[in-house]
Amino acid sequence: MAGYNKKAETAHVKAEHNQHDEEHFREKHLMLDPLPRGQMNDMVMESMYTTSWKFWVVFAILSVIVAWGLFYSWGRMILEGLGIAGVNRPAYWGIFLVNTVFWIGISHAGTFISAILRVFKAEFRRPFTRAAELMTTFGLVQAGFSIFMHMGRVWVFYWLMPYPNERMLWPNLHSPLTWDLLAITTYLLSSTMYLFLPLIPDLAMARDRSTGWRKNFYKILALGFRGTEGEWSHLRNAMSIFAFAIIPVMFSVHTIVSWDFAAATRPGWNSSIFGPYFVVGALHSGMGAVIMVLAVVRGTMKNMKYFIRPEHFDAIGKLMLIISMTWAYFFFNDYMVQWYGGDKWTHMLLHFHESGPMGWMWFAMLIFNIAIPWAVLWNQKWRSTPWIVFIVGLLINVGMWFERYIIIPISLSINRMPFTWRLYHPGVEIPLGIGTLAFFILLYMAASRLIPLIPVWEVEEGQMAHELKKFGRETVVTVSELE
């Protein structure tokens, strides 16, 4: 690890004694600050068992919001029709699709952090892979809700799936929407399995340390894992296959989502760069969401200050900065090529984006997605501070939501038939959107008390691999290859 060596060097200059050096390392890096195995397991178990009254108050409020926003509103919409939403001609797609793209975007970073960093053996990933993977699964659940809400006749949703039927009617494979459904289903299944595999040893750990219904719960989920050499080698094989295989799945999902727009004939949508642009946009909002989740987990759950440290916010902050720059590049490229195309409708649309009645949103998007991350994240001290990166992550998510809002309902307001131009005003989409957000948080809260949020075995493995060695008077971090 070159980074560690460099820090060791600078630390060496500062500290007079090697003893100071080591303390400095321990304080800073989780991997160099090992605790006894039993103690670490107990800490994670304790964090799962501890719930304050505040937890239950938030839980109850969110449950009410979910019941009202998601189930009551959706039920009303199913019974009365989409008329109570704000969609109209020409904005046939509204916030439902905005939320679908948004939630799929959120779900991207989970897999990105977990799979890509695992493949590249980035050591800082170890304590928060699970937290990120959970986000993937729960985000996809919300994306599923959003896309089904959007359908006019949701009770026949299964017509979109290829199932054997008497009339030999199949879904239309020319349609990007069919591929959307297949891609999202594939992603949901594979990311759930990918979440589950590294969870097995931790579930076994929890099984051995719990009583009552929890014991039975973990017993079933742990699939009889005992930790023999053979089980570990099978698990490692499966995990490395999934880590590699899920990366192309992740890229394909958001590319296919972008085809919903890129494959259409609408001005402003028909852009060939939408695939990578959407993937990067998804990572942008997803990384923001990961850092928000980590800041909340660190701040509210017991014992988490040991596992999640400023060094992790620092590392994710760097990634966020790079992704923000990449997003800016793609945004500029998309804008430039569309403008250069010279199509008069596209010109009108681009002009409408900036100076139309929703122009403030366009500028807010650029400020939240580019200006603020660039202004804040370059500074190591700032990006290591949880509350600062929480705000940056929040603003990035708002900005990315605005970006999708601009692409979908605002771009739909303008088309080649000026007689039909009309603005979109959301209706029941707002409670439904709030409902999905509340449901996401609710699921996450429940999961944080049901499954170990920290992959203890991965942290332990990392701590075993890292060592502080002394060469003469110099303290050096070494990492041995365990796998």
Partner 1 sequence: MAIELKVSEVKMGEAYVGKWGMVIDQDMCTGCQACVAACAMENNLSFVGETDSGYGRSMHWIRIERFWEGSYPEVKMTPNQPMLCQQCGAATCEPVCPAFATVHSQAEQLNLQVYNRCVGTRYCANNCPYQVRSFNWRDYKRPEPLPNQLNPDVTVRRRGVMEKCTFCIQRIHKAQDKAKSEGREVVDGEFTTACAQACPASAITFGRVDNPDSLVSQLARVHGHGVKHLEELGTLPNVTYFKGG
Mapping DSSP to helix (H, G, I), strand (E, B) and coil, where does residue 468 land?
strand
- For the chain, helix, strand, coil in percent to 5 are 75, 0, 20
CB of 260 to partner 1, least distance (A): 8
Within residues 91-120, the interface with partner 1 by CB under 8 A covers: 91-93
What mask of x and - would describe binding to partner 1 in positions 399 to 418, judged by CB under 8 A?
A: -------------x--xxxx
- The secondary structure of residue 224, as a DSSP letter, is T
Using the rule CB under 8 A, is 178 a contact of partner 1?
yes
What mask of x and - would describe binding to partner 1 in positions 424 to 463, judged by CB under 8 A?
A: -x--------------------------------------
CB of 80 to partner 1, least distance (A): 6
Mapping DSSP to helix (H, G, I), strand (E, B) and coil, where does residue 181 land?
helix
Measured on CA atoms in the order 363, 364, 365, 369, is the torsion positive or negative? positive
The burial of 213, by beta-carbon neighbours within 10 Å (0-12 exposed, 13-18 middle, 19 or more buried), is given as: exposed
Q: How far apart are CA 235 and CA 166, in angstroms?
A: 42
Name the residue nearer to partner 1 (CB basis): 112 or 145. 145
The CA distances from residue 387 to 27, 102, 328, 408, 482, in Å, are 20, 23, 24, 32, 35
**What does residue 105 show for φ and ψ, rounded to 5 degrees?**
-60, -45
Mapping DSSP to helix (H, G, I), strand (E, B) and coil, where does residue 471 land?
strand
CB of 96 to partner 1, least distance (A): 10
CB of 81 to partner 1, least distance (A): 4
CB of 200 to partner 1, least distance (A): 37
CB 319 within 8 A of CB 287: yes
Using the rule CB under 8 A, is 83 a contact of partner 1?
yes
Using the rule CB under 8 A, is 82 a contact of partner 1?
yes
Name the residue nearer to partner 1 (CB basis): 39 or 272. 272
Of the candidates 10, 172, 211, 480, which one interacts with partner 1 according to CB under 8 A?
A: 172
Using the rule CB under 8 A, is 181 a contact of partner 1?
yes
Tell me which residue of 36, 41, 199, 59 sits closest to 131, measured CA to CA.
199
Name the residue nearer to partner 1 (CB basis): 6 or 153. 153
Using the rule CB under 8 A, is 89 a contact of partner 1?
yes
Within residues 12-71, the interface with partner 1 by CB under 8 A covers: none
Using the rule CB under 8 A, is 326 a contact of partner 1?
no
CB 399 within 8 A of CB 367: yes
Name the residue nearer to partner 1 (CB basis): 177 or 447. 177
The CA distances from residue 221 to 45, 189, 199, 211, in Å, are 16, 17, 9, 15
CB of 38 to partner 1, least distance (A): 54
Using the rule CB under 8 A, is 165 a contact of partner 1?
no
Of the candidates 18, 51, 175, 300, which one interacts with partner 1 according to CB under 8 A?
A: 175
Using the rule CB under 8 A, is 264 a contact of partner 1?
yes
CB of 198 to partner 1, least distance (A): 35
Q: How far apart are CA 109 and CA 289, in angstroms?
A: 8
Within residues 123-162, the interface with partner 1 by CB under 8 A covers: 150-154, 156-157, 159-160
Using the rule CB under 8 A, is 81 a contact of partner 1?
yes
The CA distances from residue 369 to 124, 233, 284, 324, 418, in Å, are 25, 42, 8, 7, 32
Using the rule CB under 8 A, is 347 a contact of partner 1?
no
Of the candidates 14, 17, 174, 469, which one interacts with partner 1 according to CB under 8 A?
A: 174
Q: How far apart are CA 43 and CA 302, in angstroms?
A: 8
Binding region for partner 1 (CB under 8 A): 80-83, 87-93, 150-154, 156-157, 159-160, 169-172, 174-178, 181, 260, 263-266, 412, 415-420, 422, 425
